[in-house]
Chains A and B, each alone.
Chain A
Amino acid sequence: MNKIVIDDMFLTTDMPTTAGSKMLEGYTSLFEAEVLTRLKAADYVIAGKTKVGEFGADLLGETCYFGAEYEGETLQYPAAAAVKSGDAKAAVVMDVNGAPRRGAAQNGLVSLKPTYGRVSRYGTIPVACSGETVGVIANNAADCRDVFTAMAGYDSKDGTSLPESMTEQGKAAVTKKNKVVVLSSMLKGTDEAVQGRIAAVTDQFTKNGIEVVVADADVVAYAGAAWNILMSAELCNNVSRYDGVKYGYRTKNYTNIDELYTNSRTEAFGEFLKSAILFGSETLSTENYKKVYDKALRVRRVIRDNMAALLADCDALLMPAASALAYSRTLVEGDKYLPYKENFFTAPASITGLPAVIAGGVQLVGNAFSEDLLLDLAELV
């Protein structure tokens, strides 16, 4: 049976969609996310929703208003947990800030973050529109491929959705080179377990006749910093619509419109989200726009060009998905900047819109439209 779970970031008409926030507690959408319509048409059954951190922007769901999920003392991403436990064949996830990739990596699952624009974002709670994508977590590459195939394709309701002609052209341009590049600059700050996974996957590839070379690409290491700026700015802007006026949480404590806005948001948003809002707002101020936001956009272009150059003669860039394969409660609760820091590993794919696959606890970032090739590589791991 094709039983799947979905992140609580996809709009459903038969159950609420909260995005893990008190702001949207009990909010039921008037329309359904495009991917769900497509999955249902392909005979997938939606068994339920999995919790996400507030607006899907945190490490692994720890900021969820309805409670974080820990396995013992280890933080667990609910969607990954559902797949791992066998409750569902696959989880359809929203990759805002890398949480699904971290979740899949620490559980040894396979996850796909497709090329930006290949899966419709219509009906997903918007947070970091310029880089977030719908993704999949499954037990193996084949299941990932099936779910992705059912969801992907042009959607006229999404202005950033890629037309079929472009996808066909893009896919045709992908050629197999039997070569993977390990980015040494991306190993910075990783623990032994992660380094061990990189070594094991390298061995596995070599055994299968795939050449693995090491390269330095310092510029890719700036992706995290740039993405944190862009992501926070977009998040700040996208959650502005939750003002207590038309839907969502409304404070009882107001006498005028400014108090209605301020108190509703103060009472309903969590601390992590508020810090992201404030940071994002600052990056867009007249004073900071040029030197912060605009510079991040430029850095994005440089990183895109650099990664395209690196990918010109290989199939994928091999890098960690996180600094560790497990996050303890003490670490998570003790470091509020952890999600920003861990973006170092997931941001290169988020900021460029390139596809990424998680397998064997590592991350493979490939050329645009190379999802099939990446999943082929995942099968070797």
Chain B
Amino acid sequence: MEYEVVIGCEVHVELKTKTKIFCSCPTDFGGEPNTHVCPVCLGLPGTLPVLNKKVLEYAIKAGLAMNCEIAHFSKFDRKNYFYPDLTKAYQISQFDLPICKNGYIDIETSEGKKKIGITRIHMEEDAGKLVHQGATITTSAGSLADYNRAGVPLIEIVSEPDMRSAEDVLAFLTNLKAIIEYTGVSDARMEQGSLRCDVNLSLRPAGQKEFGTRAEIKNLNSFRAVERVIKYEIDRQTDILESGGKVVQETRTWDDGKGMTFSLRSKEDSDEYRYFPDPDLTPIIVTDAYIEELRASLPELPQVKRARMIEEDGLPEYDAGVITASKALADFYDGVRAHYDDAKKISNWIMVELLAKVNAEGMELEAVKIQPEQMAALLKLVDSGDISGKIAKKVFAEMFATGKDPADIIKEQGLVQISDEDALKEMVSHVVEANPKSVEDYKAGKTKAMGFLVGQIMKQSRGQANPAVINKLLAEKLDSM
């Protein structure tokens, strides 16, 4: 039978506030275990939470950037469950009155454009982290608890079950990540856990309206894992349905090494969270004036920036899509563009040279040493003929490694392109004299010999000769013979 895949996502994003959601401990990632803690985030008896106003601001900004309605009246609730990483045995979260709801994110895939609905965005506190001793959780002799992360502010973004393929999900996550980065509310780094994704996936016979039974796969921390999980779950659920079985509603975990999902708990066991309004936190009242103030403070968002690059700068859609998917890349582009006019050339250098190096090094774009002004200067040096495109790549590699100015690198390494005709004439004569066989071939009509001679001259100039000038001088020389 033909099945349709139905996917919804729950994405947890750690907000980039300086301090935690209900106390003044730092939110910095890393740090010795249990050094970013105080009685409040440790949930010691007698402590009380006081809301960090920045968290509300960031949650609203994220909601506005995802086209959500912002609730004028919202509240915090306590979600009860026992787990050693949870200091109070309840998590302060939002249950029935989230701060944002009914939004959407635009995506574009090989199937075309569509909107992925955002059901809700709510604020909550993160839990601590358990470090299990031993190889796996089942064989662990014990666990250590690190509460540095306890109380770090999160927003949970819940999508509608609007996605139908892994491609949809990746496009959704890419755009979501970009929007979050642009608004500046989070670093949204999956590998550091500041963006975590749960996938809800079910199958239904093609054409059927009702949803099938879904499995929820928790805590995926890379785009690659998301893609693999979706492929794996489609196969797993298809096999079950094909063999006449029933998919169980449950929470599953992804084993990246084995490339498989495993049942963690059935949904019936865990659904009883006994939510109730947190009496220690007064309801959150948000005025229209505040919402509008935040809306006005939003930066240009990826979709708008992308459209601007296509329309005003004339970039191909593909280039604009790649560059705007990352705020760092888009900022770099804008920075170069402010000093240099040829948008397509900038885009080529970013897409080919810069991304190749960044990917090869496996580094963050934020860590790139080259400043946009330096990149613009390099492009200008090529345009003016001071260096060849080939040398420019060499200079670029050095800029990437050291962050030095291109002019300094050229000076230090003597890489200036030789365009001086007198100097080059000498080289041309020299090469022509040393290769009589090639000259003969050329005269006999074998034009290929011309290329060989140019190569020899370039070699002698250690790549610094201006190829255009050489071509001209060599042609003159050969024709005069």
Chain A residues close to B by CB (< 8 Å):
11, 19, 24, 29-31, 33, 121-126, 129-130, 156-160, 233-234, 237, 240-243, 245-247, 257, 261, 281, 284-286, 289, 293, 297
Interfacial chain B residues near A156, Cβ < 8 Å: 50
A33 to B78 alpha-carbon distance, docked (Å): 23
On whether the beta carbons of B39 and A159 are closer than 8 Å, the reply is: no
Interfacial chain A residues near B45, Cβ < 8 Å: 11, 19, 24, 29, 125-126, 241-242
Given contacts A129-B279, A130-B279, A159-B50, contact A241 B43 (CB under 8 A): yes
On whether the beta carbons of B88 and A241 are closer than 8 Å, the reply is: yes
A240 to B273 alpha-carbon distance, docked (Å): 13
A129 to B89 alpha-carbon distance, docked (Å): 16
On whether the beta carbons of B276 and A233 are closer than 8 Å, the reply is: yes
What 0/1 readout, one digit per residue, does chain B (19-55) give for beta carbons within 8 Å of chain A? 0000000000000000000010011111111110000
Given contacts A130-B279, A158-B48, 7 further A-B contacts (CB under 8 A): A19-B45, A24-B45, A159-B280, A234-B276, A237-B274, A241-B43, A289-B275
On whether the beta carbons of A285 and B272 are closer than 8 Å, the reply is: yes
B282 within 8 A of partner (CB): yes
On whether the beta carbons of A33 and B89 are closer than 8 Å, the reply is: no
Interfacial chain B residues near A157, Cβ < 8 Å: 48, 50
The residue of chain B having its C-beta at the shortest distance from the C-beta of A158 within the complex is B48
On whether the beta carbons of A124 and B89 are closer than 8 Å, the reply is: no
List residues of B (69-88) whose CB comes within 8 Å of A's CBs: 78, 80, 82, 84, 87-88
The residue of chain B having its C-beta at the shortest distance from the C-beta of A257 within the complex is B84
Most A CB within 10 A of own CB, among B43, B44, B279: B279
Interfacial chain A residues near B78, Cβ < 8 Å: 237
Given contacts A156-B50, A261-B82, A281-B274, contact A243 B89 (CB under 8 A): yes
The residue of chain A having its C-beta at the shortest distance from the C-beta of B277 within the complex is A297
On whether the beta carbons of B50 and A29 are closer than 8 Å, the reply is: no
Interfacial chain A residues near B281, Cβ < 8 Å: 159-160
Q: How many inter-chain contacts with C-beta < 8 Å in the A-B complex?
A: 90
On whether the beta carbons of B50 and A286 are closer than 8 Å, the reply is: no
The residue of chain B having its C-beta at the shortest distance from the C-beta of A124 within the complex is B46
B271 within 8 A of partner (CB): yes
On whether the beta carbons of A246 and B46 are closer than 8 Å, the reply is: no
B90 within 8 A of partner (CB): yes
On whether the beta carbons of A123 and B46 are closer than 8 Å, the reply is: yes
Q: Nearest 6 A-B pairs (CB), nearest first? A: A130-B279, A240-B89, A284-B274, A129-B279, A123-B46, A11-B46
On whether the beta carbons of B80 and A237 are closer than 8 Å, the reply is: yes
On whether the beta carbons of A29 and B90 are closer than 8 Å, the reply is: no
The residue of chain A having its C-beta at the shortest distance from the C-beta of B281 within the complex is A159
A240 to B91 alpha-carbon distance, docked (Å): 12
Given contacts A129-B279, A159-B51, A241-B88, contact A285 B46 (CB under 8 A): no
Given contacts A233-B276, A234-B279, A237-B276, contact A243 B46 (CB under 8 A): no
**How far is the CB of A213 from the nearest CB of chain B, in Å?**
34
**How far is the CB of A33 from the nearest CB of chain B, in Å?**
7
On whether the beta carbons of B274 and A285 are closer than 8 Å, the reply is: yes
**How far is the CB of A18 from the nearest CB of chain B, in Å?**
11
**How far is the CB of B55 from the nearest CB of chain A, in Å?**
13
On whether the beta carbons of A159 and B49 are closer than 8 Å, the reply is: yes
A182 to B439 alpha-carbon distance, docked (Å): 123
19 contacts across the A-B interface (CB closer than 8 A): A121-B48, A129-B279, A130-B279, A157-B48, A157-B50, A233-B276, A237-B78, A237-B90, A237-B276, A240-B82, A241-B89, A242-B45, A243-B89, A246-B87, A247-B44, A261-B82, A281-B274, A285-B272, A289-B274
A294 to B87 alpha-carbon distance, docked (Å): 26
Interfacial chain B residues near A237, Cβ < 8 Å: 78, 80, 89-90, 274, 276
Most B CB within 10 A of own CB, among A237, A242, A289: A237
Most A CB within 10 A of own CB, among B49, B82, B87, B90: B82
The residue of chain B having its C-beta at the shortest distance from the C-beta of A27 within the complex is B45
The residue of chain B having its C-beta at the shortest distance from the C-beta of A24 within the complex is B45
Q: Contact check: which of B82, B84, B275 meets A284 at CB < 8 Å?
A: B275
Most A CB within 10 A of own CB, among B44, B48, B275: B48
